[in-house]
């Protein structure tokens, strides 16, 4: 595979810093990390940034409940995120926070540019107000009976039973979720962004970005309903950035949260001379910017965010890649069933490489949901990674180590077979590039089957008994290890720690994608050590048992409806 080097900036949605990461979140970060590692393996300059989404009412309220400051709360979860991401091999070039000087400066710059262009205006609106707490209430902080289907205990913006949308004022018997009292209605002046003026420009961007067809269909629904101007302000008390020139108005978290992408990148640029902020975030450059997100936040990333960027003089994303949600055993994640599994609970029981591979084997470029079937997880990991992939090396390495002083042969006995593995590089690369990971995994495992058949047919364990055929054993095992090596290069983006072990075994430095086409010959390898061990069903069962919460009666309803770190429309970037 050969192509001109590219300059690419990649982001994942920002995890909301008021709860731990779980298996649903990891779909996105693993999907993104695989893509980034692939680009780097191909020799491109690919930079991966992220940050904790640290603003909004939910964080303010939770910090107050815990008796800590919002800064303390978000710092605590950010540190936890970094530990968990690192353990899962998610390799950010920079991980920052939206509660940062860079983010505030860029948010204000964009706001002032939009205001100068006439795209910001003020309007007085009516809002629910908690008299006891002395604060305006976001829609999701009001609950009551649905005015349409009469289902009780519904949020103030939409009914989970009939899916109708409304305002908190429409609810029957509304109450504040903070104080439990009935809210009043008060007027307040808010700032609005003229999203309704951006229809034609957004359609032009959508066409250039070649978005997924299902995402486009959803966007068309929103266009048909009419783009509405966006309320980008919130009243005090609020944890966020204060709007310049005001005393009690703050930028809504959904304005400053996506700004966390360029802000994190700017923070990195300030520490690295090889990166130029304007080259990636101003129009007219040939750099590329891609956002990986969950399908629940397409509106913000495919309508609101590109409009804000264009209107304020920044470049729009090259594309936005949306994925579906995660189900476990065919159902939504559940605390009572033990399928609401935190990242740390998984790490306490299983190797992250298993999950990275399993997700890759399931993921495609669409917004369809994927299922983590725990029985299939055990079977597929053991079959593919242990029974097929690692088995190639373990069947050949011992002979080379013990009988040939760890020396590989100087030639391959079946160059045509090796060429089949080398020639698959472009096809597999195409699948990675288009995020068709499941197709890439199927192609790789089909080659692994072919490698194992080659070893089965030649039976080096039988050949070794004939002293006159020792050279043939060395050649066959060299062939097997080179097929294994090519497969490990292709799998480096997916299971990087296993690839590191394979490189150490083969005595090599960093790989590049094209290395898969050149065999390793007359080289001295190291003693083979098991790269992975089988998954035991009891390990998975223990993980499930540790995740069960039978005391939280409302847990399943909450989790089944939103497997995000945070809740609702007031939240930052939800990642499912």
Rounded mean pLDDT of 37-60?
96
pLDDT (0 to 100) of residue 3:
67
Residues 80 and 144 in one domain: no
Does residue 342 lie within any of the structural domains? Answer: no
pTM listed for this prediction: 0.93
Quickly tell me which residue has 């009551």 as its tokens: 144
Confidence (pLDDT) at 558? 38
Residue 289 has pLDDT above 80, yes or no: yes
10 Å Cβ neighbour count for 207?
10
431-477 pLDDT per residue, tens:
999 999 999 999 999 999 999 999 999 999 999 988 877 899 999 99
pLDDT recorded at residue 201: 96
pLDDT in tens, 393-413: 999 999 999 999 999 999 999
Residues 449 and 505 reside in one and the same domain: yes
Measured between alpha carbons, how far is 227 from 219 in angstroms, rounded to an integer? 10
- Can you tell me the distance from the alpha carbon of 42 to that of 486, in angstroms, rounded to the nearest whole number? 14
Whether the predicted pLDDT of 574 surpasses 50: no
- Domain identity same for 167 and 88: no
pLDDT band at 169; cut points 50, 70, 90? confident
Confidence of residue 521 (pLDDT cuts 50, 70, 90): very high
Specify the pLDDT at position 567: 33
- What's the rounded Cα separation, in Å, for the pair 340 and 546? 10
pLDDT of residue 557: 38
Residue 138 falls inside a structural domain = yes
Which tens digits make up the pLDDT trace of 190-213?
A: 999 999 999 999 999 999 999 999
Comparison of pLDDT for 148 and 561, the residue scoring more = 148
Q: How far apart are CA 550 and CA 555, in angstroms?
A: 9
pLDDT digits (tens, 9 = 90+) for 219-244: 999 999 899 999 999 999 999 999 99
**Cα separation, 393 vs 502, whole angstroms:** 9
Which residues lie below 8 Å from residue 557, measured CB to CB, with a gap of 6+? none
> Nearest Cα to 232, choosing from 241, 223, 224?
241
What is the pLDDT, as a whole number, of residue 4? 82
Tell me the mean pLDDT in the region 110-139: 94
| Token code pair at residue 157 | 């913006």
- Examine residue 282 and state whether it is found in any structural domain, yes or no: yes
Q: CB under 8 Å to 220, separation ≥6 — which residues?
A: none
Is 24 in the same domain as 139?
no
The verdict on residue 361 lying in a domain is: no
Do 176 and 41 belong together in one domain? Answer: no
Structure confidence at residue 23 as a pLDDT band (50, 70, 90):
very high
Model confidence band, residue 36 (pLDDT cutoffs 50, 70, 90): very high
Beta-strand pair 319-323/120-130: unpaired
CA–CA distances in Å: residue 523 to residues 7, 183, 464, 475, 506: 35, 75, 21, 13, 8
Q: Please list the residues that pair with 11 across neighbouring strands.
A: 49, 291
Mean pLDDT calculated for residue range 294-322:
96
Q: Judge if 33 and 97 occupy the same domain.
A: yes
Contacts of 246 (CB under 8 A, 6+ apart): none
Beta strands in 319-402 (DSSP E): 319-323, 326-328, 370-372
Please check whether residues 167 and 108 belong to one and the same domain.
no
**Cα(329)–Cα(324) distance, rounded to whole angstroms?**
16
Residue 123 has a pLDDT of 97
Q: Are 420 and 450 within 8 A, CB to CB?
A: yes
Which residue's entry shows tokens 């001109």? Answer: 4
Cα distance between residue 394 and residue 403, in whole Å: 15
Residue where one domain finishes, among candidates 165, 193, 221: 193
Mean pLDDT of the chain: 93
> What is d(CA 9, CA 19) in angstroms, rounded to the nearest whole number?
27
Q: What average pLDDT score do residues 337-346 get?
A: 96
Determine, yes or no, domain membership for 235.
no
| Statement: residue 564 has pLDDT above 50 | no
What domain range includes position 168?
A: 120-193
Pair of tokens at residue 545: 């048992």
Q: Which of 484, 517, 550 is the last residue of a domain?
A: 517
The answer, yes or no, to whether residue 575 has pLDDT greater than 70, is no
CATH (domain of 129): 2.170.220.10
Identify whether the C-beta of residue 32 lies closer than 8 Å to the C-beta of residue 48: yes
Whichever domain contains 488, its CATH number is 1.10.730.10
pLDDT in tens, 70-95: 999 999 999 999 999 999 999 999 99
Domain count, the chain: 3
74 lies in some domain = yes
Q: Judge if 127 and 183 occupy the same domain.
A: yes
Residue that is last in its domain, among 490, 517, 544: 517
Please check whether residues 504 and 389 belong to one and the same domain.
Answer: yes
Contact 124, 188 (CB under 8 A): yes
Burial 469-500 (b: 16+ CB within 10 A, else e): eeebbbbbbbbbbbbbbbbbbbbbbbbbebbb
Task: State yes or no: pLDDT of 508 exceeds 50.
Answer: yes
- Closest Cα to residue 209, out of 70, 51, 316, 101? 316
Percent of the chain having pLDDT more than 70? 95
**Lowest mean pLDDT, pick from 127-141, 254-268, 490-504, 531-545:** 127-141
Instruction: Give the rounded percent of residues in the chain with a pLDDT score beyond 90.
Output: 89
Element (H, E) at 193: strand 184-193
What CATH number is associated with residue 98?
3.40.50.620
Q: Do residues 423 and 441 both lie within one domain?
A: yes
**In this predicted structure, what is the pLDDT of residue 127?**
92
* Integer Cα distance of 51 and 101 in angstroms: 13
Q: How many Cα atoms sit within 13 Å of 259 on the Cβ side? A: 26
User: For 316, how many CA atoms within 13 A lie in the half-sphere containing its CB?
Assistant: 21
> Same structural domain for residues 102 and 142?
no
- Indicate if 134 and 98 belong to the same structural domain: no
Report yes or no: 512 and 306 within 8 Å, Cβ to Cβ.
no
Residues 476 and 418: beta-carbon distance below 8 Å = no
Mean of pLDDT values over 113-126: 97
Looking up tokens 């289902």 gives 151
Residue-wise pLDDT for 351-365, tens only, equals: 999 999 999 999 999
In a domain, 341, yes or no: no
> What does each C-alpha distance from 304 to 9, 297, 488 come to in angstroms?
20, 10, 41
What confidence category does residue 562 fall into, taking pLDDT thresholds of 50, 70 and 90? Answer: very low
**Looking at the predicted structure, is the pLDDT value of residue 571 above 90?**
no
- Whether the per-residue pLDDT at 346 is higher than 70: the answer is yes
Q: Which residues in 532-548 are b (16+ Cβ under 10 Å) and which e?
A: beebeeeebeebbeebe
Domain contains 539: no
Q: Is the pLDDT of residue 566 over 70?
A: no
Mean pLDDT of 297-319: 96
């Amino acid at each position: 595979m050969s192509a001109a080097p590219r300059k690419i900036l990649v982001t994942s949605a920002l995890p909301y810093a008021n709860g731990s990461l779980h298996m649903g979140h990891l779909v996105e970060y693993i999907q993104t990390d695989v893509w980034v590692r692939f680009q780097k393996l191909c020799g491109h300059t690919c930079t991966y940034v992220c940050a904790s989404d640290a603003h909004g009412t939910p964080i303010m309220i939770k910090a107050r409940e815990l008796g800590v400051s919002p800064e303390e709360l978000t710092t605590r979860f950010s540190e936890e995120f970094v530990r968990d991401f690192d353990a899962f091999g998610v390799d950010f070039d920079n991980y920052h926070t939206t509660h940062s000087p860079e983010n505030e400066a860029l948010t204000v710059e964009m706001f002032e540019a939009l205001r100068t262009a006439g795209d910001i205006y003020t309007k007085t609106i009516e809002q629910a107000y908690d008299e006891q707490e002395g604060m305006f209430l976001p829609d999701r902080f009001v609950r009551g009976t649905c005015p349409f289907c009469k289902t009780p205990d519904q949020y103030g913006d939409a009914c989970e039973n009939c899916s109708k949308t409304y305002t908190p004022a429409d609810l029957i018997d509304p109450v504040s979720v903070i104080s439990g009292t009935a809210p009043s209605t008060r007027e307040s002046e808010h700032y609005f962004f003229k999203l309704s003026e951006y229809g034609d420009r957004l359609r032009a961007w959508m066409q250039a970005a070649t978005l997924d067809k299902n995402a486009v269909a959803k966007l068309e629904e929103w266009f048909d309903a009419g783009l509405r101007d966006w309320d980008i302000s919130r009243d005090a008390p609020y944890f966020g950035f204060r709007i310049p020139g005001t005393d009690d108005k703050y930028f809504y978290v959904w304005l400053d949260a996506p700004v966390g992408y360029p802000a994190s990148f700017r923070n990195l640029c300030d520490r690295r001379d090889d990166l130029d902020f304007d080259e990636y975030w101003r129009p007219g450059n040939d750099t590329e910017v891609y956002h990986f997100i969950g399908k629940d936040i397409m509106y913000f990333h495919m309508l609101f965010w590109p409009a804000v960027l264009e209107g304020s003089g920044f470049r729009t994303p090259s594309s936005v890649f949306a994925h579906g949600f995660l189900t476990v055993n065919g159902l939504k994640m559940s605390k009572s069933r033990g399928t609401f599994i935190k990242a740390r609970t998984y790490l306490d029981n299983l190797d992250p490489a298993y999950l990275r591979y399993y997700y890759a084997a399931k993921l495609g470029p669409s917004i369809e949901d994927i299922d983590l079937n725990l029985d299939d997880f055990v079977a597929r990991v053991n079959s593919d990674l242990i029974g097929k992939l690692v088995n190639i090396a373990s069947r050949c390495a011992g002979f080379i180590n013990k009988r040939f002083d760890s020396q590989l042969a100087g030639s391959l006995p079946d160059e045509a077979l090796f060429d089949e593995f080398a020639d698959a590089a472009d096809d597999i690369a195409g699948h990675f590039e288009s995020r068709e990971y499941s197709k890439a995994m199927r192609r790789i495992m089909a080659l692994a089957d072919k490698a194992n058949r080659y070893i089965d047919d030649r039976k080096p364990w039988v050949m070794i008994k004939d002293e006159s055929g020792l050279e043939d054993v060395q050649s066959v095992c060299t062939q097997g290890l080179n097929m294994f090596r090519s497969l490990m290069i292709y799998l480096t983006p997916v299971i990087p720690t296993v690839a590191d072990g394979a490189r150490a075994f083969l005595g090599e430095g960093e790989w590049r994608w094209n290395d898969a086409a050149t065999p390793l010959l007359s080289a001295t390898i190291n003693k083979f050590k098991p790269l992975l061990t089988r998954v035991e069903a009891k390990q998975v069962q223990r993980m499930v048992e540790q995740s069960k919460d039978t005391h939280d009666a409302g847990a399943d309803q909450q989790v089944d409806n939103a497997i995000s770190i945070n809740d609702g429309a007031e939240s930052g970037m939800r990642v499912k």
